[in-house]
A and B are shown apart, each in its own frame.
Chain A
Amino acid sequence: MSEFDAIVVGGGPAGTSAAMRLAASKLNVLLVEKADPPGSKNVSGGVLWGNSLAGVMPDWEKTAPLERYVKSKGIGFLTKDSSIDISFRSTRFNETKTGYTVLRTKLDQFLNKKAKDAGATVVTGVTVDRLAFEGKKVIGVEQDGDVITSDAVILAEGANPRVAIDSGIRSPLKDEDVAIGVKEVIKLPEKTINDRFNLREKEGFAGEYVLGFLDGGVEAGGFLYTNKDSISLGVVISMKHLRENNKTYSYDIVEQFKNHPSIAPLLEDGKVDEYSAHMVQEGGLASIPKLYGNGYMIAGDAAGFSFSNGLILQGMNYAIASGIAAADTIVEAKTGSGISEQSFSKYEEKLMNSFVLKDMHTFKGIGDITWGNLIHQQMPGILEKVMLGLFMEDGEPKRHMNQIVKEALKSSGLKSSKLLLEGYRMYRRM
């Protein structure tokens, strides 16, 4: 007989949600987290989108350590001199909260405590080395030469899935699977943030940016989120494009973003309080591994569950929903036909019926667009030319908009056939 009904590796949103759910069904669950305190090695942008946490904590919006709710959403194209922004703010977000800015060290500590309160055994500061096998069946985890036995294991170890890779159930990550996330937390008084972003108490701003001005044509997206009394600002850099460039330092790109003429005033007099970095799962459907086997399942970032279409950047909601689905699969197997590869195939079925895998399928191939030349290299420049054509008063006779657009496209060097094809792809996939 195993020591535990289930072991969950990783105390982030996926792992803690799974542990809460398993404990709620009175299963004997061990949650193992390598950091101590939990969350202290985790990095996220981060906005927690959606309402997935309600699955394990109906009152999470009242109890969890949330910074601000997203009242205002921004998209920006930045060129060297200009920014072309779309800003959307709505009182509809007051009633139905769509997202909350969070700081992971605080949030994950809270989630680990909730898992413990629910009845899970939570150990922190302990690193799992690999899965323990008996033939092809997973019988627990190996830790420092010992085997801790368990009927089932959920791997929720995050964006750098060492345990899965070292156990031979996931192939090593490649350039197209990941991006490099680099972030700074910048302290500013709450009132200053409210004034600069036109926010009231508890209201927040979440902005994503195409950085079309970076040295050497590196492709990266920027993000800027308001916390209560700090700003989370960072960049997500394409590994593939940074490699092709091979002369720009990843840690310099976030500074270029910070110093952009449209961003710098928002940060003025702020003090950088923390620098952080983490790989980001970016591969979409193509980088999702086999999600289950006899005795194990993979959840959250470790399974490549994240979503980005250039307008939004999400991961934690996918993590939570997949953690819950994995836990439910174990509970059902235990009370039903028993644990087997067959019974764990229900996990994939559940995900196929939820937004987790539905989104991955709907947005298959989106990476070609979001990391494409059109968005990063041409679009910001074209938009800038159009805006200057419309708004820069230079005493010359005014022109029709179609003329301005035509000239902007022409000067971008983009062939109209290519624009048509790329535009159509973007329209379809986004």
Chain B
Amino acid sequence: MSNMKIEDRLSLLNYKIDKSYAHITVKPEICEVCPDHFCTFACPAKCYTLIDKKLNFKYEDCVECGTCVVACSHDSVSWNNSKGAHGVKYKYG
């Protein structure tokens, strides 16, 4: 099997996106001076990326695995459960 890009794998998923509530938030002032940006390697849904060396976070692709809040050792990530059955909906799990 050829390598599948993460974007293509994520596109297989169904989401009910919560437009009014981000269940994860980050503190930009902390991320700006972060020495490791380990979140970009740890997050399996590529929600954390570096654009021009600046951390960019989007919650819409989040699969609610809980990794990032452990991965971030700088207390930037606040993690809450999604509400109202929003977020990822697996068909197999």
Contact = CB atoms under 8 A, between A and B. Distances in A.
A121 B4 CA distance: 42
Interface string A163-202: 1000000001111011011101100000000000000000
Contact of A160 (B10, B65, B85, B93): B65
Contact of B67 (A245, A250, A273, A276): A250
Interface residues of B, number: 40
B25 interface: no
Contacts of B88: 40-41
Give the bracket for the number of chain A residues in contact with chain B. 35 or more
A302 B45 CA distance: 22
B4 A255 contact: yes
A103 B63 CA distance: 17
Interface in A244-271: 245-252, 255, 258-259, 264, 267-268, 270
Given A162-B80, A162-B81, A275 B13 contact: yes
A160 B92 CA distance: 19
Nearest to A184: B9
A272 B12 contact: yes
B69 interface: yes
A160 B81 CA distance: 9
B32 interface: no
B4 to A, nearest CB: 6
B45 A277 contact: yes
Contact of B85 (A35, A103, A104): A35
A314 interface: no
Contacts of A163: 81
B42 interface: yes
Interface in A348-399: none
Contacts of B40: 249
B85 A180 contact: no
Contact of B92 (A162, A173, A185): A185
B93 A182 contact: no
B86 to A, nearest CB: 9
Interface of B: 1, 3-4, 6, 9-10, 12-13, 36, 38, 40-46, 63-67, 69-71, 73, 79-85, 87-93
Given A41-B89, A177-B70, 12 more contacts: A34-B82, A39-B93, A127-B83, A160-B66, A162-B79, A162-B80, A162-B81, A173-B69, A250-B43, A251-B6, A252-B6, A267-B1
